[in-house]
Amino acid sequence: MTDTDSAPVDVFRTGNYAPVPEELTAFDLPVEGAIPTELLGWYLRNGPNPRAEGGHWFTGDGMVHGVRIEGGRAAWYRNRWVRTESFDEPFGVYNPDGTRNLRSSVANTHVVNHAGKTLALVESSLPYEITNDLQTVGAYDFGGKLVDAMTAHPKICPTTGEMHFFGYGNLLGPNVTYHRADATGALVIDRPVDVPAMTMMHDFALTANHVVFMDLPVVFNLEAAMRGTMPFRWEDDYGARLGVLRRDDPFGEVRWLEIEPCYVFHVVNAYDTDDGLLLQAVRYPELWREDGGFGPKAVMWAWRIDMARGTVTEAQLDDRAVEFPRIDDRLVTLPARYAVTVADASLIRHDLDSGATQEHRFGTDASPGGPGEAVFVPADGAPDESSGWYLAYVYDPVRDGSDLVIIDASDFTGSPVARIALPQRVPYGFHGNWIPG
């Protein structure tokens, strides 16, 4: 990740950060190698694709890039902007009282599927429903029940099918609200979570028995907002803590436990232990202290929470600078052995049991490739985390183009089993998912 406050804006209009100007559709894409015939579904990934000059790259208009795979072939590629209600309104959409309407959105961070609906997400607004061939349906508010923004990182429990999420950033309060939708997609729980200021809560954690909120010292900064930059800054005096809520008592006490100041964009996983729970994440020692620049890199970290004693033990897991961690989504809330992260020109697979790592490097030393987040797709009926494939968009600087790369999880360091050549470059972006069917 890189931030535009500490670098010229045109850096994010060049190379593979540069937006692509066209929406394309292409069929029967060329493939090097062989696509596993078991793969049947859509690979969709979201990210900023700014249409206007200037401004923060993080706030660029959302564009979803998708590939349909079926019968051992790449049936089509499409890229589409998410056509939100503010898409053609450069200053956003506002309510009669002057507050920003929650339908005003760039919808540029994630794309998830729950209860038959595919949602494009950004944490400042309502989700937007899209079809799997990337047409925008419209803002989705759970039948009028969601009156808050929705995090771009909801967690879907593999046991219950529930989707847990939160919203933050309500200037009128509460600063954070926890939500839960049941397996049918009905919104069934809304409850405020008290935090002392408008903290930037990008992600959270879920275990089989608990929800964990991260109240960290990156908070709303009016001066930065008025300058038109990222409106959050590091605050030394704010402190840092984890808030633990029991899933079976969703309106009960949130128990707060202090940790060393840090920031976390992305949780790896969390699960219950005999004496509490374990949270794994990618941790920055600080973030956006003065100018909004990232400064120190993020590395893998773990927090072991002892609920009986009310203590947290913190430990660094690895020293590589990484981001965008993903596990086998079937193991969200449960112990997972592997997590895959993005490093410079590489995907890194971390063995969370042994601490060992494996590297899948792209390109050459002279022309390194640029991978995005890797999503795990399990083989049919196989519970093993090594039985399946990792899918990621990878930028090739030699031809200034992109491929959808498929890596066999049982041979992570080996050559990809397939490279699907895309008809245009896929700019660096954020998150996506495999949607089977």
Tell me the pLDDT tens digit for each residue of 179-200: 999 999 999 999 999 999 889 9
Give tens-digit pLDDT for 14-49: 889 999 999 999 999 999 999 999 999 999 999 999
Query: No. of H helices and E strands in the chain?
Result: 1, 33
- What pLDDT is stored for residue 198 in this prediction? 87
- What pLDDT is stored for residue 6 in this prediction? 44
Residue 208: is it exposed, middle or buried by C-beta count within 10 angstroms (0-12/13-18/19+)? middle
- What pLDDT is stored for residue 231 in this prediction? 79
Q: Evaluate if residue 353 carries a pLDDT over 80.
A: yes
- What pLDDT is stored for residue 342 in this prediction? 98
Please tell me the total count of domains within the chain: 1
End-to-end CA distance of the chain: 32
Q: Evaluate if residue 117 carries a pLDDT over 90.
A: yes
Pair 77, 90: CB distance under 8 Å:
no
- Mean predicted lDDT score pLDDT of the chain: 93
Q: What is the mean pLDDT of residues 94-120?
A: 91
Q: How far apart are CA 214 and CA 241, in angstroms?
A: 6
Omega into 261 within 30° of 0, i.e. cis?
no
Q: How far apart are CA 35 and CA 45, in angstroms?
A: 19
Q: How far apart are CA 49 and CA 21, in angstroms?
A: 9
Pair 357, 341: CB distance under 8 Å:
no
Q: Sorting pLDDT into bands at 50, 70 and 90, what band is 172?
A: low
Q: What is the mean pLDDT of residues 92-101?
A: 78
Residues of the chain with pLDDT > 90, as a percent, come to: 81
Domain range holding 117? 4-436
Give tens-digit pLDDT for 51-85: 987 777 788 999 999 999 999 999 999 999 999 99
Lowest mean pLDDT among 15-24, 216-225, 251-260: 216-225
Give tens-digit pLDDT for 370-420: 999 999 999 998 889 999 999 999 999 999 999 999 999 999 999 999 999
Chain CA centroid to CA 114, Å: 15
CATH of the domain at 302: 2.120.10.30
What are the tokens at 316? Answer: 């660094």
The torsion angle over the Cα atoms of residues 418, 46, 290 and 222, rounded to 10 degrees, is -170
